[in-house]
Amino acid sequence: MTRQDLIAALWHGRDPFADPPADLRPADLQGWRSIHPYLEEAVIAVRPRVVIEIGTWKGASALFLARTMAEHDVAGSVIAVDTWLGAVDHWADAALFAELATEHGYPSLYRTFLANVVREGMTDRIVPLPLDSVNAAELLRLRGIAADVIHLDAGHEEASVAADLRAWWPILRPGGLLIADDYDSTGGRFPGVTRAVDAFCAEAGVQGPWSLRGKCKFIKPD
């Protein structure tokens, strides 16, 4: 599917970047492992038409994926799924909570994401989808949109990760690649992520997971 196909399917033809505000926020590409070999390799090896990122934050990794597509002449788009409201850890940690930039009692993080995409010149490669993970997966299912690559970087609790994997697995095409962030076979900061991924891979009988520097990847059987 082209980006215009995605805009038609997800936004009823209304491009969310068509009329950006004049007062863009300054560039702020804060992120974690936003530039990673697994993300670059996924673009080069798979040459995806559709990449879905669940958990986008300020857009750093979505932008890295989009730039890599452009550099390697891959005619694909990144669907960036996020509520831009934060997860449990963003509300529990005072420093992360400040990054939500609340205005009148409501997070305004989407404005930071929007400004980053516009400033980086990647509005023709990225399609935001401001829904929670489960509802976004259902919408894509209803629209018949399949992903070649999925980058999962949403909640960090075991139950949340397990729910995301179950919701998005049907959206990933057979032979497609799933990359999960915050995976650490030694436990790490978010052991629930590792437990959920390992349990899912064992149950689904997939190739992997292979892990490197805080991310893991595995392939959906054909």
pLDDT at 136: 98
Per residue in 92-126, pLDDT (tens digit) is 999 889 989 999 999 999 999 999 999 999 999 99
The mean predicted confidence, pLDDT, of the chain is 94
The answer to whether residue 185 scores a pLDDT higher than 90 is no
Which contacts (CB < 8 Å, 24+ apart) does range 200-203 have?
Answer: 200/162, 200/165, 200/166, 200/169
pLDDT over 90 percentage in the chain: 83
**Are β-strands 172-181 and 215-219 bridged in parallel, bridged antiparallel, or unpaired?**
antiparallel
**139 conformational bin, left if phi > 0, alpha if psi -120 to 50, beta if neither:** alpha
What does the alpha-carbon distance between residue 180 and residue 182 come to, in Å, rounded to a whole number?
7
**Residue among 54, 83, 168, 167 at smallest CA distance from 91:** 83
Task: Give me the pLDDT at residue 90, please.
Answer: 87
CB 213 within 8 A of CB 205: no
Of 17-21, 25-29, 44-48, 124-128, the range with the lowest mean pLDDT is: 25-29
Question: pLDDT tier at 151 (50, 70, 90 boundaries)?
Answer: very high
pLDDT at 145: 98
Give the amino acid at 13.
Answer: G
Say if residues 107 and 81 touch (Cβ distance below 8 Å): no
Point out which residues pair with 151 in neighbouring strands: 53, 179
